[in-house]
Amino acid sequence: MTGDSIPTVRETAKLTDETEKDFIQHAKRYFAMYLPTAGFEIAETDRYSGSMKREACIIATKEWHVGDEIRHCSGTLVSLTTEEERALEGGRDFSIMWSSRKDTMCLLLGPARFVNHDCCPNTEFISSGQNAIAFKFLRDVAIGEELTAYYGDNYFGAGNEECLCATCERNKTGSFRTEDDGVVLKEGLRPFVYDDKGKLIRRSVLRRKKSGLLTKSSKNKQLDKQTEKPLQPTTDIDCATGSVTQHTATTTISLPTRAEPMSFRTMISSARQYNNTNRLLNQNCSDNNMNHHLSSVNQEMESSWAGVNVVASPEIRVEWGITIFRRVNTPTHQGVNASLSNNFGVTGQSNSPFTPAGGSSRMSIAYLCSNDISDSSSKAIVIAGPSSAVNTQQEITRRCKICSEKYSSAFEYKERRCPRCTRHFNLFSIEWPLRKTPNQKVKAKDDNRSKSGKNRVEFMNSSRRMDKTAPSKGKNKQTTRPRNRNQQSLPEPEPSGEWEPFSTPGFIVNTIRYNGKDCIPSIGTFHLLFSCNKNFDCNQNNKLSISIRIQLSRRNNPLGCSNRIRTHEPDKEVDGFPYHNARKVIAEVLGLDNQGFVPIFGPGYRSNDRRPVIVVPRGHVLTDDSSESDDDVIMSDIEVETSSIVSADLTSKQRREEDGHILAGPSKKCKF
Ligand SMILES: C[S@@+](CC[C@H](N)C(=O)[O-])C[C@H]1O[C@@H](n2cnc3c(N)ncnc32)[C@H](O)[C@@H]1O
């Protein structure tokens, strides 16, 4: 450590009284996801991107009932200037909403922004303080069910014609309607087809192409906010029968004039605007029908899986519960592929780089495609239907012993657990979807760690924890070693392929102090990033201010990806650490042994390989007092010393070479 005084994040990031408060509040919004009472988690889905890439969604981790409010899944609305709106238009997918209250376009930020739209949603937006929103349940929701809300009548094109929600699928509305595109779509398939060049394309895009509506230039046209048109008729869909009734509403909203039909970001009515529709919709949403639908979907999945074998290349890219790889499949097997579980999402053409449907340049898509799918040199994975002669070299499909979902054995880290349940276990030391409440000591089952009696997590305050743990040995990171050198966990497959350019300037965290002790991250490089909302997220008042991420480089990343340290040569020491269990290593490094540190990833979740992580002592974060969630997270005990990153936009190769070395600019320290 150098220097005595440690500037705070406030100083480093030039926060004012106002923005510092907002900043912390916003960080807490994300941290609240990890409270035992949160009742939801961010998961992944391929529903809204046609199995070509993944998007985030929110799923319930506990049962919710009509009228319940889910306060921890919150978000804030930040007004956008016209310039900002334009800037966002071209590129990344933020949740742009029209707020009638503010009378302006806004960004919805915070975990709430991962709630997807459904025409028959199970939640509705509710106000949760000034500029903040949360959700109220309109139906009972079971564990594992996706939480959805109604964005508006024209969010996904006029009358939501491009909507991909489960209700539209069931009712053959939105993107699932078949009547006017001349493409025969088999029952059960997603609304994606192959175009003349053999590329997989969204049906609505094909339709527009054919009708001459979609031209290159039209894609880039800016939103013309000036044009006011009457709100499209409100549509009531009977979730059960699919019958549609239209009502005319009196409110006006802005509609774009661009030639490209209104697409995702084009139009959202405010939370208030959809309420009437929503109420009507929900009168028609019967749980029985839903359940019936769900069970038929399950059956469909089940039958699609029967006889399906998967042949994987030896090089499979594994990220935190997500495997992304190039795959090949034939159109004749679309039906099978479309029904596969989350781990098998991508459909593409053999030997041809994949082009995202609709030319979308949304962030999540860009990441996934450029990482994996467009890399034509990467090895392919073949999904073959029942009739094919298949080779079951490496992978077999398994059913998770915890959640019963099917997954590929290639993604298995712990015995018979799917990636999601593994991740959950790594985070919370208890099986999905449970979370321990403070003072609850749960013995981990079926896990090596419980056998050794180690790694049981107790919740306690920091003073008790510090009493119990041995002081950190040595100040130098190179000399800090874990106590248990015998601890081993399964090595993971190394990711293949290039890393993405890393474009967010920020800081390298050289040291971490916890409760005044030197806690030097010996493994990997911590990047404390102060990024503006154009990149990830922002707080509610200062639109271009910071969000916090301590990001770990992927190589040697103790917390990112699968929660294990990646070594190129498993079982060898990395900076003096011989084993792979990241959480344990961090705990060791921080002198906290097995008391539990929680890797937290927050803003930017979707950019899968940029897992923003902050290390927060579990005892601090996971209090059970949801009414005072703002005070739950105490970051002040963690101090970090940073160097500014002098170079941005590194290529993956540069990044690999320069990690932690050349990049280091002037050294700074900050304290939360
Ligand atoms: C507020 S975000 C929701 C979170 C999003 N899935 C993500 O990963 O960022 C809105 C975006 O999600 C996708 N989305 C959500 N609901 C959808 C639906 N019913 N149909 C099509 N796309 C949807 C669209 O890409 C939309 O722009």
Is the distance from CB of 199 to CB of 350 less than 8 angstroms? Answer: no
Is 93 close to ligand 1, i.e. is its CB under 6 Å away? yes
Atom of ligand 1 minimally distant from the CA of 164: 20
Is 269 close to ligand 1, i.e. is its CB under 6 Å away? no
Atom of ligand 1 minimally distant from the CA of 93: 27
Between the CA of 293 and the centroid of ligand 1 the distance, in Å, is 22
Report which residue type is found at 212: G
State the CB neighbour count (10 A cutoff) for residue 96: 21
Spell out a b/e string for 205-230, using b for 16 or more CB atoms within 10 Å of the CB, else e: bbbbeeeeebeeeebeeebebeeeee
Is the distance from CB of 169 to CB of 162 less than 8 angstroms? Answer: no
- State the burial class of residue 300 (Cβ atoms within 10 Å of its Cβ: 0-12, 13-18, 19+): middle
Residue whose structure tokens are 């933020």: 94
Atom of ligand 1 minimally distant from the CA of 606: 8
Report which residue type is found at 239: C
- State the burial class of residue 631 (Cβ atoms within 10 Å of its Cβ: 0-12, 13-18, 19+): exposed
Between the CA of 156 and the centroid of ligand 1 the distance, in Å, is 9
Between the CA of 112 and the centroid of ligand 1 the distance, in Å, is 12
Between the CA of 45 and the centroid of ligand 1 the distance, in Å, is 10
Q: How far apart are CA 64 and CA 174, in angstroms?
A: 28
Is the distance from CB of 368 to CB of 321 less than 8 angstroms? Answer: no
Is 48 close to ligand 1, i.e. is its CB under 6 Å away? yes
Task: Give the DSSP H/E element, type plus range, for residue 315.
Answer: none
Is 364 close to ligand 1, i.e. is its CB under 6 Å away? yes
The token pair that represents 600 in the structure block: 């937290």
200-202/132-137 β-pairing: unpaired
The token pair that represents 430 in the structure block: 């208890």
Is 190 close to ligand 1, i.e. is its CB under 6 Å away? no
User: Assign residue 385 a region: left if phi > 0, alpha if psi is -120 to 50, beta otherwise?
Assistant: beta
Q: How far apart are CA 120 and CA 351, in angstroms?
A: 39
Q: What is the pLDDT of residue 166?
A: 93
Atom 13 of ligand 1: nearest residue by CA position? 48
Residue whose structure tokens are 């959640």: 403
Distance of CA 66 to the CA centre of its chain: 26
Q: How far apart are CA 207 and CA 192, in angstroms?
A: 11
Q: How far apart are CA 248 and CA 498, in angstroms?
A: 52
638-645/507-514 β-pairing: antiparallel
Is the distance from CB of 669 to CB of 551 less than 8 angstroms? Answer: no
Atom 12 of ligand 1: nearest residue by CA position? 116
Between the CA of 488 and the centroid of ligand 1 the distance, in Å, is 40
Which residue from 42, 51, 55 has its CB within 8 A of the most atoms of ligand 1, so it is best to mutate? 55
Tens of pLDDT, residues 170-211: 998 888 877 655 554 444 444 555 566 656 555 555 555 665
Low-confidence spans in the chain with pLDDT less than 50: 1-9, 12-13, 90-93, 184-190, 213-238, 240-393, 438-672
Distance of CA 213 to the CA centre of its chain: 33
Q: How far apart are CA 270 and CA 499, in angstroms?
A: 38
Atom of ligand 1 minimally distant from the CA of 264: 27
Atom of ligand 1 minimally distant from the CA of 168: 19
Three-state DSSP state, 71: strand
The token pair that represents 47 in the structure block: 């529903």
Atom of ligand 1 minimally distant from the CA of 95: 1
Is the distance from CB of 347 to CB of 420 less than 8 angstroms? Answer: no
Q: Find, among 213, 168, 170, the residue nearest to 358 by Cα.
A: 213
Q: Find, among 88, 127, 129, 123, the residue nearest to 107 by Cα.
A: 88
Between the CA of 116 and the centroid of ligand 1 the distance, in Å, is 5
Is the distance from CB of 135 to CB of 59 less than 8 angstroms? Answer: no
Is 150 close to ligand 1, i.e. is its CB under 6 Å away? no
Which neighbouring-strand residues pair with 615? 599
Is the distance from CB of 523 to CB of 556 less than 8 angstroms? Answer: yes
Is 163 close to ligand 1, i.e. is its CB under 6 Å away? yes
Between the CA of 163 and the centroid of ligand 1 the distance, in Å, is 9
Three-state DSSP state, 596: coil
Three-state DSSP state, 282: helix
Rg (C-alpha) for the chain, rounded Å, is 24
Which residue from 46, 48, 94 has its CB within 8 A of the most atoms of ligand 1, so it is best to mutate? 48
pTM over 0.80: no
Residue whose structure tokens are 């639908």: 293
The dihedral built from the CA positions of residue 260, 261, 263 and 268, taken in this order, carries a sign that is positive
Between the CA of 113 and the centroid of ligand 1 the distance, in Å, is 9
Q: What is the mean pLDDT of the chain?
A: 46
Which residue from 88, 116, 164, 264 has its CB within 8 A of the most atoms of ligand 1, so it is best to mutate? 116
State the CB neighbour count (10 A cutoff) for residue 473: 12
Is 95 close to ligand 1, i.e. is its CB under 6 Å away? yes
The CA-atom distances, in angstroms, between 388 and each of 16, 170, 253, 314 are 64, 30, 52, 20
Is the distance from CB of 541 to CB of 443 less than 8 angstroms? Answer: no
Is 156 close to ligand 1, i.e. is its CB under 6 Å away? yes
Angle (CA) 424-587-574 rounded to 5° is 95
Is 113 close to ligand 1, i.e. is its CB under 6 Å away? yes
Residues 6+ apart with CB under 8 A from 455: 429, 444, 449, 583, 584, 594
Q: Find, among 74, 90, 82, the residue nearest to 26 by Cα.
A: 74
Is the distance from CB of 152 to CB of 269 less than 8 angstroms? Answer: yes
Which neighbouring-strand residues pair with 374? none
Is 116 close to ligand 1, i.e. is its CB under 6 Å away? yes
Atom of ligand 1 minimally distant from the CA of 265: 27
Is 55 close to ligand 1, i.e. is its CB under 6 Å away? yes
Atom of ligand 1 minimally distant from the CA of 165: 19
Is 71 close to ligand 1, i.e. is its CB under 6 Å away? no
Report which residue type is found at 473: K
Atom of ligand 1 minimally distant from the CA of 113: 1
Between the CA of 167 and the centroid of ligand 1 the distance, in Å, is 14
381-384/327-328 β-pairing: parallel
The dihedral built from the CA positions of residue 661, 664, 667 and 672, taken in this order, carries a sign that is negative
Q: How far apart are CA 118 and CA 137, in angstroms?
A: 13
Interface predicted TM-score (ipTM) of this complex, two decimals: 1.00
Between the CA of 147 and the centroid of ligand 1 the distance, in Å, is 12
Query: What does residue 202 show for φ and ψ, rounded to 5 degrees?
Result: -70, 140
State the CB neighbour count (10 A cutoff) for residue 164: 24
State the CB neighbour count (10 A cutoff) for residue 485: 11
Query: What does residue 82 show for φ and ψ, rounded to 5 degrees?
Result: -60, -40
Q: What is the pLDDT of residue 202?
A: 57
In the chain, helix, strand, coil percent, each to 5? 25, 20, 55
Which residue from 117, 281, 607 has its CB within 8 A of the most atoms of ligand 1, so it is best to mutate? 117
Report which residue type is found at 243: S
Between the CA of 17 and the centroid of ligand 1 the distance, in Å, is 34
Atom of ligand 1 minimally distant from the CA of 174: 20
Torsion over CA of 462, 466, 472 and 476, rounded to 10 degrees? 20
The token pair that represents 372 in the structure block: 């994996």
Which neighbouring-strand residues pair with 574? 577
Atom of ligand 1 minimally distant from the CA of 108: 1
Between the CA of 68 and the centroid of ligand 1 the distance, in Å, is 23
Q: Find, among 161, 152, 164, 149, the residue nearest to 268 by Cα.
A: 152
Atom 23 of ligand 1: nearest residue by CA position? 48
Atom of ligand 1 minimally distant from the CA of 364: 8
Three-state DSSP state, 30: helix
Between the CA of 304 and the centroid of ligand 1 the distance, in Å, is 26
